[in-house]
Structure 1
Amino acid sequence: MNEYDFYQSYNAERYIHFRTVPTGKYEIIETKRNGKLITNRKPIFEKQKLSFEDVKNINLDNYGQDVRTSSEDFTLVHNYLLDFWSAIMGADAVLLYIHLKRYCFSGKDFCYPNMKTIQEKMKKGSKSTINKNMDILEKYGFIAKIQRIDTERNNGYASPFFKVRRYVPLLSQELIEQLPETLHKEHDKFLANANGVTLDETIDNEDLINDLMRSSKLMKSKSQSSKEEVLKRQGRMKEYILAKLSTQEQKYRYMFLQYLEKKFSKPSYETWFRDSIFILDQEHQLFKIYVANSFALEWINNQYKDVLQQMLKEILDLEIKTIEISLYEDYLN
């Protein structure tokens, strides 16, 4: 008997699913306040497109330990959520989780409610307050928020798609230490009756999100795509490749360059690595390096593959089978 597909009534083809991630760059915004010119840095974000198959495969319940339950543990929600998680996340975040969970009927672990309705039910006037509590819930692995664009409505924004944790996780050791003294004692009593449950040291949802974003694709504006085409036509291959890198690839490149700058003398670093571009393909166990000239290609290929293997091991704890060094112009091949 085939397992029931809860997603069969959801029209995934209709929507573009994505997450907005920081680029690490900022724009300078000048505003006047009380007659004075105030300068602020505003972070620049980019959209990373996700395949719906990756979204479907999110299982928040694989992270952390589940609370053991009995018939005495529930009012409308598990008492553990109200007694302990509320002290960590705040009552508003807990209430938002309950509202989202309310829409996950018939055993589903996803929903896409109208957020204006949620806002009205919580009687919270500020959209930013709701967004803040979404961030809190995502931080502790209660939800994963996926933004959507409706392709049947002129690519307008639709309400977010949420993956929602079905079972309340136990606090980690780190979070238990943050409880007020009275609640800490109550939690000790709870664990004493839980018959040897092993707690996680910390709760960190970052690995789940990183795994989700690893296969994402950058959603580029028309101006960004046009700029890339200009770079390609002009033969400015280094700038073209850098413009094509995802946020994660840019982050890795920065980490690799920092490592190599410390590893080598300044002349060696600037000669062989400063202008290198690194692309890591974990799925195919491949590490690609693009360099400016054949001299650098030959030298790195003959002298420094062991160093690069060690770098991947130390920074990312990865053992990559194949390292390829190519020229910038080979990127399009």
Structure 2
Amino acid sequence: MSDKKNLKGGSSKLLYYRSRPTGNRTPKTKIAHGKQIPYYEEELERIYFKEEDVQKFSLDRHGQNIPYVDGHLTIINNYMFDYWSHFLSAEGIALFGHLLRYCYGTKDICWPNLELIALKMNKSRNTVKKYLGILEEYGFVYHFNVQNADKNNTDESPLFKVRKKVPFLSHELYEQMPLVLQVDHDRYISHLLETCEKEDLELDTSVNYNDLYNELIDKGRIQRKPQQLSLFEAEKQMQIKKQLLHQDVTDVDKQLWSAFIEEIKNKISKPSFDTWFKGTFAIKRDGLYTIYAPHQHVTEWLESRYYDLITDALHTVDTNFTGIRIESTS
């Protein structure tokens, strides 16, 4: 057997070729949805190359190559491409690379122009924001919105804290990978143990990044801008809220509440009914009745004066509920 190595490092004789269409097409048929569909199949020809020609061929010899400049390289551990990409996707890895390139040296903070990154990735800004969310979910990026206090709190581009060290997958994520990737990951860990001489090397414990972010948020200062609505805006919001609530009312909800209304009518006077129960409706979910009244004043009155009566009347028409809550649609 020859000791000469092929281009893949083995001893077998390999043939190197590319396929290209000849321009000829053969009419054929295929079955789709139970029907025969005619189509044309492109005829291909193979072009074989000598191994030495493949060896000598170089793309680097063509075009003006960028000279090496210290600081103009972004290094990403192959572990990101081999395993984390299954969860972050190609777009997530690319976005992480764009953010990481600004965190040179010991920096873990950057504030790039997202519009520019979206153009570089040939993605919409909304798509970039989607993958920012995925990166945050897995603990690779965390963003902070920024205001300039010296310029009347004008909003500026957001600031990003970027993970510089690549973590191992947690055991939970490892088990979510396809079997082929799990086997490849086992092989990688085994090789790493042999080369780095670290006996305690193992899959990372699962980290709940929502808890981690909430711990940070608890250290912050909450400031809410008081909402000032015009009467027109308030009325519009109220009508929208009513529409959304009524969409959630099922036929069963309507039947139960209709039976409840008939029961209430027999227990109180007509003026009292018209004042406090007219226009009410209810939604029952997971055993809990949420009763909606048209105004906050009515809500407070029902809670303080009619709560026991409501409970008794509901028990008459429905014995299977766990509680009552009264809210206003206004």
- Measured against the shorter chain, the TM-score band is 0.3 to 0.5
| TM-score (normalised: structure 1) | 0.42
Which structure has the higher relative contact order (CA within 8 Å, separation 6+)? 1
Structure label with greater radius of gyration: 2
